[in-house]
Each structure stands twice: as structure tokens, then as C-alpha cells.
Amino acid sequence: MAKKRRRNDDGMVFSTNSSYSFDDDHSEDDGKWSPDGCLLHVSLDRKQRAGKPVTLVEGHDGPASDLLLLGKDLKKLCGVGGTVKEGCILVQGDHRDKVVSHLEKIGYTVKRKGG
């Protein structure tokens, strides 16, 4: 039988798994994670985008909420659109220099991939 219950902390609304418990603590510990040990790779990608450049930020191993906020900050910094998909931040256009300098300023270790 399907269980239905809404929780604000994990986003789980519905589960068809009969052994799933909504009371288990599945949340990540946001208090212990810091960007110091996180190595991010910044590259330019044109594949499957009709030749349009996209700045790609990969390698974030922290909480998903931090990744979403970082993506929002980078899009605002560059003044363009973008998205966060599959653990990667995509920023429309070639903004590698701005992105790298901003990430280093807020404490991430950054490595440029590609040319």
C-alpha cells in the first residue's frame, strides 16, 4: 500500500515502497560540510547544444541545497540563465574566467578543464 505524507526537510511526498519509512533521517548534515576540500572542474561545453557555449561546473560533493544556491549565485553574477542538472551547474555562455575567480574567492579549489 502506498504511503502519503509531506515533510518539509527532504521533499519526499509519496512512496510506493512499502518498506520506506518517512521517519528515518535521510537528511544530509549541512553543518559539517565546507567548500575547502571540494575540487570543482570548470570547462566550456558545446556538445548537444547546437554549437552554443555553456560554462560547466562539475565535482560538487556537498549538499544539494548548497549546489542550487551556488548555481543561482553564478547565474546572477554572469547575468545569464542556466540550470543545475545531475550534480552539475550549467551557465549559458562562456563565463569561465568570472566563474573561476568567484569560486576561488568563496573558498573552493578550482581546476580548469579544456582550453
pLDDT of 24 > 80? The answer is no
Distance of CA 65 to the CA centre of its chain: 8
Q: What is the pLDDT of residue 6?
A: 46
Instruction: Please state the domain count of the chain.
Output: 1
Number of CB atoms found within 10 A of residue 99's CB: 22
Residue 13 lies in a domain: no
SS3 74: helix
Confidence of residue 31 (pLDDT cuts 50, 70, 90): low
CATH number at residue 67: 3.30.780.10
What does the pLDDT average to over 20-37?
A: 65
Q: Is the dihedral of CA 40, 43, 49, 53 positive or negative?
A: positive
Comparing 29 with 97, the larger pLDDT belongs to: 97
pLDDT of 68 > 50? The answer is yes
Q: What is the pLDDT of residue 30?
A: 46
Residue 63 lies in a domain: yes
pLDDT digits (tens, 9 = 90+) for 1-20: 555 444 455 566 677 777 77
Boundaries of domain holding 90:
29-112
